[in-house]
Structure 1
Amino acid sequence: MARPLADLLAANIHQHIATSGIAPGTRLPERMLAEQFNVSRSPVREALKRLAAQEIVFAHPDGGYAVAAAASKATVDADESNDGDDDEATYLAIAEDRLAGTLADRFTENELIRRYGVTRAQLNAILRRMAQEGWIERRPGHGWMFLPVLTSAETYRQGYRYRLLIESAGVMEPTFRLDREALLRCRAEQEALVNGGVRTASPAALFDANSRLHETIAACSGNLFILEGLRRLDRLRRLMEYRKAVDRDQAERRCREHLTLIDLLLADQREAAADFLKLHLHNAAREKASD
């Protein structure tokens, strides 16, 4: 029997805390978790209550919940952990097969169940994630279809050149308004990665944390075209990022650069932040193009 949504969500949040290396005391806003897992705030609230009962999180004096000190020592239930590992492996296998051209544009759930040896419940969870991330959609009536993604080294490089054009320009937009609270949440996440989390985080977790920061900065621009352009590109390049081997030293260096970028923005040094962002993206493109 399928577990209630709040139970599944609690396991996912716990796994997110563990793999991202989020520091004890870090606040866990309901809205942020709801957006990340594509659910309403009500099941997030119930999931956090369950985690509080397990002492993974605690009720913060100012409201909401924060990561407990015991969270780093606690482990996810063995069956849940194994299920999560299996789901992640299947998810990445589908991504790899799609990029390799061995999966047709259109497919059914039964075809994937036979191909990857997963249960229908496991596949449904994976399909929900893929749909949320924007690289599949349900077909009218029956089955699913893959949406366009970047599939070649050249289109991948073009994506970075596009980012060089729009992201730093967004910082200098006259409509730029700093969302301090959102940037501080990103800072806590990046700091947790620098403090060891980057060594164990999955490629998906690293991609999500880093794209969340860049999209947060784009949102501050006040220019919807910059924000939506970056979001669309992130959906397109997601699978290419998963396919690349993760160089943990490079990943840590990029996270440290993220902290510098955030601090420049928090100090209202926008011109310096825009210049630093250009350099950061140029270096990232050069490193990843050589992977």
Structure 2
Amino acid sequence: MRRLPWRHWMMRTRSNTRQNHLKLARRIIEVALERGMNRGDHLPETTLSEACGVSRTPIRSALKLLESNDIVLRREEGGYFLNHSPEEIGINGISRLDDMEGSLAARILSDRAERRITDVQSVSALVRRYNVPRSAVLNALKILSIDGVVAQLPGRAWAFQPLLDTPNALAESLSFRLALEPQAITAPGFDMDSQKAGLLRQQMEDFLRRRDGSMSSVEFLHLDCAFHSLIAESSGNRFVCGALLAHQRLRLTTQKDHSIPDFRLRQSLEEHLDILDSLERMQHQLAADQMVLHLRRSQIRKPQAVNRGLLPLARKGMA
């Protein structure tokens, strides 16, 4: 059985931990309902720990999730208290948590893309801007950090990574990938999931069969990121894998649709298929050389696509 790449294992672990906290939060509401508790009643951690059969640490995490959805209130020196009666909440009431945090992450990202918020933000500033609990902002920032959009600075500030929506940012992105993606292929231990590669090949071939004018640049970006993510996660070097996967998520999240001509999309997908052919034949060095050529061609394509509005004379120097 093929092992998951290190970063995928870490992401799955975080996801599983969060799901456990959600289940425990629902159990806390069940306990409150069973014991006939009402709005304003205290929720002692020790009592909940005994009722749920877990230690106080996961109880605290579950209570924080409930607080982020305004189901409980935390008072200094007093602990947590019900903000609504269990009947008002409903057993499935906290299922809104994931939607709320995902929606807030999307709003933050949208405001960042439109330059409505600056490169560095404090949690307090985001709490005031969006009028939501501090825990909700932290959870949204964690979602964005997994996608490589933000990174926490020393202290309480968070810094947004460069968006891939300018010629300079795209050029730096391609230089970064040119340095690492060929290394991902040639590093010892490269192991590509043949089932995943076969499915991706089928999707790319289906896309290539579309007639001109029906090719979506957005759909292409998803396919492109999926291909390059497959290369990253197949690498035997966990650090190369992690860096490239994070960058592909950043591309997918922040790179805008630049209406790339159909013939460019076809050419790029055909290059992907050529690289897959070499990898399936275990010709790793050839595949790495093909990746270098593929990314260098992209260095020519991208500025032309981004700067479609520039004067022809200005574009001529980029070709």
Q: TM-score, normalised by structure 2?
A: 0.48
Is 1:149 the equivalent of 2:171?
Answer: no
Greater length-normalized contact order (CA 8 Å, ≥ 6 residues apart): 1
Which amino acid is the alignment partner of residue 225 of structure 1?
Answer: F
Change (3 A) 1:240 1:153: farther
Q: Partner of 2:174: helix, strand, or coil?
A: helix
Which residue is equivalent to 2:290? 276
Which amino acid is the alignment partner of residue 261 of structure 1?
Answer: I
Is 1:209 the equivalent of 2:223?
Answer: yes
Percent identity at matched positions? 22
CA distance, structure 2, for counterparts of residue 169 and residue 192 of structure 1:
29
Which residue is equivalent to 2:189? 175
Match of 1:199 among 207, 211, 214: 214
The count of corresponding residues between Structure 1 and Structure 2 is 200
> 1:218-237, CA deviations, whole angstroms, 9 ceiling, x for partnerless residues?
22221111111112222334
CA distance, structure 1, for counterparts of residue 145 and residue 214 of structure 2:
28
Q: TM-score, normalised by structure 1?
A: 0.53
Q: Partner of 2:182: helix, strand, or coil?
A: helix
Which residue is equivalent to 2:116? 102
Change (3 A) 1:132 1:175: closer
Unaligned runs of 5+ in 1: 1-34, 41-90, 114-125, 139-143
Q: Aligned runs of 1:251-266 on 2, under 5 Å?
A: 251-266=265-280
Q: Residue 208 of structure 1: CA displacement? A: 2.6
Q: Residue 277 of structure 1: CA displacement? A: 0.8
CA distance, structure 2, for counterparts of residue 258 and residue 247 of structure 1:
17
Which amino acid is the alignment partner of residue 226 of structure 1?
Answer: V
Q: Is the 8 A contact 2:185 2:288 kept in 1?
A: yes
Q: Which protein shows a greater Rg?
A: 2
Which amino acid is the alignment partner of residue 276 of structure 1?
Answer: Q
CA distance, structure 2, for counterparts of residue 188 and residue 226 of structure 1:
27
Q: Residue 209 of structure 1: CA displacement? A: 2.0
Moved more, 177-186 or 189-198: 189-198
Q: Residue 278 of structure 1: CA displacement? A: 0.6
Unaligned runs of 5+ in 2: 1-10, 17-105, 132-139, 307-319
CA distance, structure 2, for counterparts of residue 103 and residue 182 of structure 1:
38
Q: Is the 8 A contact 1:99 1:239 kept in 2?
A: no
CA distance, structure 2, for counterparts of residue 172 and residue 248 of structure 1:
32
CA distance, structure 2, for counterparts of residue 95 and residue 206 of structure 1:
21
CA distance, structure 2, for counterparts of residue 95 and residue 253 of structure 1:
31
Q: Residue 271 of structure 1: CA displacement? A: 1.9
Q: Is the 8 A contact 1:149 1:235 kept in 2?
A: no
CA distance, structure 2, for counterparts of residue 171 and residue 220 of structure 1:
8
Q: Aligned runs of 1:1-291 on 2, under 5 Å?
A: 97-104=111-118, 133-135=147-149, 147-150=160-163, 152-196=166-210, 199-201=214-216, 203=218, 205-242=219-256, 244-249=257-262, 250-290=264-304, 291=306
Which amino acid is the alignment partner of residue 160 of structure 2?
Answer: L
